[in-house]
Chain A
Amino acid sequence: MVNLVILVMVGGGLGAMLREFTMLMVPNPVDGFPLDILVANLLAAFLLGLVTALHRRQVLSDDVYMLLGAGIMGGMSTFSSFVYGSVVLMHASIASAVVASVCVVVSLALGYLAIIVGDNLGGQARRPVAAAARGG
């Protein structure tokens, strides 16, 4: 239990710092859409798909998966900044509200895709996450 606490906390701290570095490196477009948060989120989703597949194949132990999945990828991705950034953009004008809504939908679709791509890369393609969830 104590070990798990340390793994999640250390991983989460590292993940949050990785998110901060990503945000410092990725420029935001002039219309104000938080592209930097999207990049950090997509990267984290891709990596989570990857390590989940590797954990399922027992390439990664439970502890390492806890450090990487719950810790680093969980700390690296964020939902709160994503929705708050969209709220700010939606408030600005009708046009930016439309842009923000489209960006939110695209972000969701890309995030979903990122998990699938990571999962396919990390696991056998014939046994994707969906089949594993079914108990296949």
Chain B
Amino acid sequence: MTALDVLWVGLGGGLGSLLRWWVGRVVGERYRGDFPLGTFLINISGALPMGYLSVLFAVDWHTRHGTALTAFCLTGIIGGYTTFSSMQMDAVKLAGTRGHGRAASYLGLSVVAGLLAAALGAALALAQR
């Protein structure tokens, strides 16, 4: 990790956060239910490429491109795109409106779907090799 890599993380994180904000807005305009669908879709759609690209970068591309690509794409863009804090904030709000059971199911569903998406992404990358 060099100073330049930190800048790549910052640039990627800015772009990823912008994408998160935009997806959240678009989903929020179309879906009016109680379920925090925006954050859920953001996190699952980020978990899949995280699994996929982590495998690709670690094994095949690392020697060619070094750490800059990982810093920009994985830590930066995808890391900034997905969010843990907003998910927890959604859960606390959901607990207030729909009770603790709903909040716990939302967190459980997010994590199980996220684990499956990340595993699927990694499996896809391994299958290609």
Residues of chain A having any CB pair with chain B under 8 Å = 4-5, 8-17, 19-21, 24, 41, 44-45, 47-49, 52, 70-71, 73-84, 86-88, 90, 104, 108, 111-112, 114-116, 119, 129-134
Contact = CB atoms under 8 A, between A and B. Distances in A.
Question: What are the 6 tightest A-B residue pairs by CB atom distance, in nearest-first order?
Answer: A16-B13, A12-B17, A130-B96, A13-B14, A80-B50, A133-B96
A1 B46 CA distance: 25
A73 B89 CA distance: 11
B118 A87 contact: yes
A11 B96 CA distance: 28
B107 interface: yes
A79 B47 contact: yes
Most chain B beta-carbon neighbours within 10 Å: one of A14, A21, A80 = A80
Given A14-B10, A86-B115, A115 B97 contact: no
Given A12-B13, A79-B87, A20 B1 contact: yes
Main SS at interface, chain B: helix
A102 to B, nearest CB: 13
A108 to B, nearest CB: 5
